[in-house]
Structure 1
Amino acid sequence: MAIPDIEPARVMTFRLQELLERSKHIKKATTVDPALPVSELVGEDELLLSDAVGDKETHKSIVDRAARNIFYDILASTPIDHPAFVQIWNLLDILQYCGDRDQCYPGLVLLLVEELLDSQSIDGCRIVFDFLESRREVLIATNSKNKDLVILRSCNELLRRLSRAEDAVFCGRVYIFLFQSFPLGDKSSVNLRGEFHVENVTNFEPSPQTSEKDEDRMDVDAGRDAEVVKAPDVKEEEGAAKFAAPDQIAKENSQTLDTETLYPIFWSLQHAFSNPVRLFSEENFNDFKKGLEATLAKFKEVPKVIQAPSPEGKRGVKRKFEDGYDEFASTFNPKYLTSRDLFRLELSDLAFQRHILVQALILIDFILSLTEKSKKKPYQVNAQKALQYSFTLSDQDAEWASGIKNSIANYLQEGPDGKFYYRMVDTVLSRDKNWVRWKMENCQPIIRDRVSTTDFLEAKSGAQKAYASKKVRSTLAGLDLRFLSDSESASGLERLKDPDRYVVPSAESFAEAVAGIELDMEMAMAEEEKENLGEAKTSKTWRALRIASKDKLSLFDRIEDGKSLERLFQPDTVDEAAGEESAATAPESRDSIPQEQQRAEGDRRADQGSQVTAAAAVE
């Protein structure tokens, strides 16, 4: 929109410059944080910006022109790492404050940030993004619909400039900022048509072609190697393998492939990972099964190389803005090198193995969703046509997919932090299934409208009435108290003095009551009566045990589950004690005596018997 007069724009420029001068005394720091307290720039009776010139749209255009003049002057003369560049951050804070109060365009601050990102290098963009992350909640608090397009355009343009291999952590920051800036149910980042990233092509070296001369040379080299292997001082791994028995070598070859043979099979899996629709062909699916099985077997066989942990030695340490350290940057790389010379080293890298196996889990979950049983689920039946596939996974292939998925899950749980790593992966994949279902249902709204104030107050009042405590009346004026002085019934106060009202009953009385209830339960016919008697029995049994626990706790082993309470009150006789003592010592009369002592006792008794026999014979 054209500005009719340049003088108002000049006046507004002076006003903004005056505010920036005041900001130097309020915000002493020269960094992005903390944010400028804009409300402290002016007094209570002073306006932040001058009154509107003409209509409101003209006034907003004047503020836009003045802000851009100051913005371009500072940007052209001051590098982003200079302390004086704090004026840019202060200007953006002022414009954000004015935009929320409809004194300028709400998206003006984001438009200037977009131009700032375009003018900086990658290192400068990191600093600009620090500003966006620290002001994110304020930026999207009001008028978010007018800012969504600018945020999406700025972040996508920044992602195109970043290298996913070298700036993987920065890319993650941008994606997180997008996810936090847009509502949860927004369709801007949803792949509604179910398109796969087929542009992500993995190129690898073809198999070397050997000529006749190469074959002759290889035969000669093989003969030379055989001569070297016969030497007794060979200690290399390959030489040791040649000394193994033929049966052992055949067994190993049947389980795992060598590195050269596995190389093209392994990297061919990436074709299926980037375009799962290829597996709808039976030939491709069979190749995928063989390749994944060979890969998993090779991972289990090779020795593991674990990269050094982060300098902090802790998981999930917050990123440091001061030194620019990016955690996990050395252990994560979304695009691995496919050189044959590096393949052996990559196979031993635990981080590399986990990256490949997680890709396999994602693909296996996709093909398991195409079984006949899964496709009968309501949300798949009613899904949009772009997400409905004519291919159906057979029962045999589904069984293989479930088995290989369990094998991968068990292998991922091995190694350092294996349990934690697999739990994290499993949680992410489980939540992703919910997002897939939501997308198949054509992204139904997941945000409910706010409850109106009237409905909330009515519900609150009803809940208070329903669960209000029943208070006892504080006055006794309405009660008839003549019974206290009634002389005919001889009750009155004397009845209140009855000892039965305040003396704790004995446990024997409750035991007798329980026995009476048991007899009544045998005679009861109705189920309701039996239930009432059962509750009364339970109550009196609990009371009896509670009272008896004071002086008869040692006798509780006589009863079981509150049964036969009368055993607690039976007297202990001497005969019973003697019988218990004899029963306790009887088992050890013979078993506890050593065998030698038993033999000696038997010989003594035999001698006594012979003496008696001899005496009888003499008589």
Structure 2
Amino acid sequence: MSSPSFLELLNCFTETMNKSFKMNNIEQLKAEYDRIKTPSDNDKKAALHQCFRDLLLTKTEDIPAIEQFINFAVAACRLEMTSPTIPVVLLGDIFDAVTLDKCEQIFTYVENNVCTWKEDFFFAACKHNLLRMCNDLLRRLSRSQNTVFCGRILLFLAKFFPFSERSGLNIISEFNLENITEYGVEGSEMGDQLGISEENGTGNQLKIDYNLYCKFWALQDFFRNPNQCYNKVQWKMFAAHAGSVMSAFSSFKLEEPRATSSGANKSLQTPMEIPMEEQIRESGHFFAKFLTNPKLLSLQLSDSNFRRSVLVQLLILFQYLNSTVKFKADNHCLTQVQIDWLKETESTVYKLIVESPPNGRKFADSVRHMLSREELWNSWKNEGCKEFKRPEVAGVASAAAGEDPAPPPRAALKRPRRMLGDLIRDSTKQGKFFMGNPELTRLWNTCPDNLQACKGEDRNFLPTLESYLDGSKEKQDPSFEWRALRLLARQSPHFFTLFNSPSYKVADYLESVRKKIQKDKIDIKQEVTQEGSHSQNDPNEAEGEGFVGEEETDQMDSELLKTEQLTPEDKNTHRTITVTKEQMAELAPSIGKDWKRLASKLGYGIDEVQYFESENPTVVDQCRHLLQVWFEDDMDSSLDQLAYILEGLEMLSAADAVKQMIAALSDDKVEEVSDE
């Protein structure tokens, strides 16, 4: 009997699922699943997956039915009829198919079942799907219109993932530089909107002008990117703005909120007069981003919650500037004067918070406690965000009672898999590579220096010139001629001779070169044979050394190759000659005051030229210092290169001096080779 097709399985499961879902009887579906026989369970699971997804899309209007259907899918997963990912896949499908209002209602089900998703059975399989589903929702939402829903999603992710989950941590302490606060209007309108005085019941008066408005909102840029404060100019601007704002707060004291006796009296109050806690309780949500319209500044400065928000931002900034952060740059440090200013200003900020009603002192204590806890989190991040582990309470209790601890479950016996970053770190400490694959890891660790491994003798597949010329049959082939010329240029000086006539064929030229190499080899063998015969007649030589064997023939070949490659007639020997400080001092006067043009041509900037000038008193010393740095740092530096650059700059006298030095050094080098 042939196994059923996918469509047959789908129809069968659809009919059975409709019946079992209406009766809320998962066992009926399980019985049908076990009854059907297929070559592989994956065939049945694939059909059942599609059946779940098809039936869910028929229930988009009934939210309770959707939640019940997801629970039905969770039960099917526990009975191993489907993969653990199917409930989250169904949630992703329904979120894509309904409006945002219904998404917000359905997301309540996701939040309430966070314990289910955190079970070992579902977590490993579903965590990436849940993260992708939440990110898809966040892309659809507006941060200004759906603020609460966005916050609920982020809170769910914080509850679902452990603290040490890398995807939820700001490991390198980056700031959200895109959070820009825009403010300011046209200068012609500013005089009408600001330049007013605000007075409260205590007789305090605050003069609000455009200057105070700009300083107040300019502080938000430092809160967005605190690293600006490590710049001297930006620090002065921040200190001045913060001082002006706190002076304004100090000169304008706030009153205690007036109590209301009835709802009618409360309805007559303006939003700024109603305490923020009551506004939140009545509306259910609020926006943390304040408006920057100049007309609102006087009302905002009179609002206690607004003032507290700015003061707490200052305290958070002060804590960051004083804290040790692992990923801070080395130059991000404060002077003692700046540290003293922060301490003095911090006490002023706390004093203003205490004076801000209602319950100012209690709020200040809460802020201190919050910032002290923030220091603990900062230390945890500096230590690499180590994973939090619960103590084994059950094992300790059984040991205290004198009982044998219960054996661990089968899943706990499995050795935990180490994190990839830890494996790479341990391998690096041992001077090895970890590639994530055993075979790749073995290959990369065969030789610690990969560049040296590429230069090994076993990687040299280049044949010798003589074997290539003798072994090839198609000597008229253009590809053979091209390869032979490449080998000839690399291994023999004969490449530069005998090929002068335009009518000279390449094949004939290569044949003449082959004969020339054989002749040179025979001449060297004869010389070695003659030396061997002389040594045989010499009584001081050992016996049996007058004959030429196979090993000596190989040695002759290697000596011939060395003779061809290391001939003293090489014209480029001066390229490897080291230029001494005395020779640089000899060249410097010929360049003279034009050394700045040479420095610009060599790629040195204005600040580096200024460095040479500040370190050396005379023009000659400055030029000598430039040449010394260039010859030490530039891999391509040489006397030939210097002469070429000087000719291009039309500094002909200096170029001639370099050429004369090249000629003198080349003659000395040839004499040394001749003496050897």
User: Aligning the two structures, in what range does the TM-score lie when normalised by the shorter sequence?
Assistant: 0.5 to 0.7
Deviation of the 1:415 alpha carbon: 0.9
In structure 2, relative to structure 1, the CA distance for the partners of 1:88 and 1:298 (3 Å cut) is same
Kept after mapping to 1: 8 A contact 2:92/2:133 = yes
2:259 aligned with 1:280, yes or no? Answer: no
Shift of 1:168: 2.9
User: Structure 1 residue 407: deviation in Å?
Assistant: 2.2
- TM alignment of 1:209-228, pairs within 5 A: none
**Alignment-derived partner of residue 291 in structure 2:** 337
Corresponding residue to 2:88 among 93, 100, 110 = 110
Opposite residue 380 of structure 2, the aligned amino acid is W
Give the equivalent residue in structure 2 for 1:163: 142
**Cα 1:258–1:184 shift into 2, 3 Å:** same
SS state at 2:357 partner? coil
Alignment partner, residue 162 of structure 2: 183
Q: For residue 432 of structure 1, what is the aligned residue in structure 2?
A: 374
**Which amino acid in the other structure matches residue 66 of structure 1?**
C
Aligned to 1:126: 104
CA distance in structure 2 between the aligned counterparts of 1:434 and 1:397, rounded to whole angstroms: 24
Displacement, 1:91? 1.0
* Contact 2:197-2:207 at 8 Å conserved across structures: no
Q: Distance in 2 between matches of 1:329 and 1:288?
A: 36
Deviates most, 327-336 or 88-97: 327-336
Query: Partner letter of residue 439 of structure 1?
Result: K
Distance 1:161 1:305 in 2: 43
Maintained 8 Å contact 1:64/1:104: yes
Q: Distance in 2 between matches of 1:306 and 1:178?
A: 38
Query: Quick one: which of 386, 391, 394 aligns to 1:444?
Result: 386
Is residue 2:137 matched to residue 1:196? Answer: no
**Paired residue for 2:40, among 35, 40, 55?**
55
TM-score (normalised: structure 1): 0.54
For residues 370 and 141 of structure 2, the distance between their equivalents in structure 1, rounded to whole angstroms, comes to 25
How far apart in 1 are the matches of 2:141 and 2:14?
35
Cα distance change on mapping 1:239 and 1:62 into 2, 3 Å: closer
In the TM superposition, what are the counterparts of 1:86-485 in structure 2 within 5 Å? Answer: 86-141=64-119, 142-206=121-185, 208=187, 258-300=208-250, 301=252, 303=254, 327=281, 332-369=286-323, 375=324, 383=326, 386-413=327-354, 414-447=356-389, 450=392, 457-461=398-402
Distance 2:380 2:198 in 1: 54
Query: After alignment, is 432-441 or 280-289 more displaced?
Result: 432-441
Query: Deviation of residue 280 (structure 1)?
Result: 1.2
- Distance, in Å, in 1 between the alignment partners of 2:244 and 2:376 is 32
User: What count of residue pairs does the alignment treat as equivalent?
Assistant: 379
Amino acid at match of 2:367: V
Q: CA deviation at 1:367?
A: 0.5
Q: Secondary structure at the match of 2:87?
A: helix
2:387 is paired with a residue of what secondary structure? coil
For residues 265 and 435 of structure 1, what CA distance do their matches in structure 2 show? 32
2:6–2:43 CA contact under 8 A, matched in 1: no
Letter in 1 for 2:232: E
In structure 2, the partner of 1:11 is 12
Checking the alignment, whether the CA contact within 8 Å between 1:205 and 1:340 is kept in structure 2 is yes
Q: Which runs of 5+ in 2 are unaligned?
A: 267-278, 405-676
Structure 1 CA distance for aligned equivalents of residues 83 and 259 of structure 2? 50
Give the counterpart letter for 1:88 in structure 2: I
1:285 CA drift (Å): 1.1
Q: CA 1:191 to 1:48, structure 2 compared with 1: closer, same or farther past 3 Å?
A: farther
2:57 to 57, 72, 82: 72
Give a deviation string over 1:111-142, Cα, whole Å, max 9, x none.
Answer: 22122223333321210111111221122223
By relative contact order (CA 8 Å, sep 6+), the higher-ranking structure is 1
Deviates more, 1:163-172 or 1:190-199: 163-172
User: Which sections of structure 1, spanning at least 5 residues, go unmatched?
Assistant: 24-39, 219-224, 226-235, 241-247, 314-324, 370-374, 464-619
Counting aligned pairs with the same residue, the percent is 23
What letter corresponds to residue 292 of structure 2 in structure 1? T
d(CA) in 1 for partners of 2:6, 2:115: 36
TM-score normalised by length of structure 2: 0.50
CA distance in 1, matches of 2:130, 2:199: 61
C-alpha deviation, 1:448, in angstroms: 5.7
Distance 1:169 1:239, change over 3 A: closer
- Contact residue 152 and residue 178 of structure 1 kept, 8 A: yes
Q: 1:127 to 1:48 in 2, by over 3 A?
A: farther
Structure 1 position 336, deviation (Å):
1.6
- The 1:238–1:363 alpha-carbon spacing in structure 2 relative to 1, beyond 3 Å, is closer
Shift, 1:307, TM fit = 11
Task: Provide the rounded CA distance (Å) in 2 between the counterparts of 1:307 and 1:99.
Answer: 59
Cα distance change of structure 1 residues 427 and 96 upon mapping to structure 2, 3 Å threshold: farther
1:424-573 superposed matches below 5 A: 424-447=366-389, 450=392, 457-461=398-402
Separation in structure 2 between the aligned mates of residue 135 and residue 257 of structure 1, nearest angstrom: 55
Distance 1:104 1:409 in 2: 58
Residues in 1 aligned to 2:212 and 2:382: alpha-carbon distance in whole angstroms: 38
Q: Which amino acid aligns with 2:94?
A: L
Q: Which amino acid aligns with 1:406?
A: S
Q: What is the distance in 2 between the residues matched to 1:237 and 1:127? A: 48
For residue 143 of structure 1, give the secondary structure of its aligned residue in structure 2.
helix
SS of residue matched to 1:150: helix
SS of corresponding position for 2:287: coil
Q: CA, structure 1 residues 406+332, in 2 after alignment: closer, same or farther (shift >3 Å)?
A: farther
Q: Tell me, what secondary structure is at the counterpart of 2:107? A: helix
After superposition, the Cα gap between the structure-2 partners of 1:89 and 1:210, relative to the gap in structure 1 and judged at 3 Å, is: closer
Distance 1:259 1:436 in 2: 39
C-alpha spacing 1:46/1:123, structure 2 compared with 1 (3 Å): closer
- Whole-angstrom CA distance in 1 between matches of 2:138 and 2:255: 34
Contact kept in structure 2, 1:60 and 1:103, CA below 8 Å: yes
* Secondary structure at the counterpart of residue 337 of structure 1: coil
Which secondary structure does the structure 1 equivalent of 2:134 belong to? helix
SS in 2 for 1:147: helix
Kindly indicate whether the alpha-carbon contact (under 8 Å) linking 1:306 and 1:350 is maintained by their aligned counterparts in 2.
Answer: no
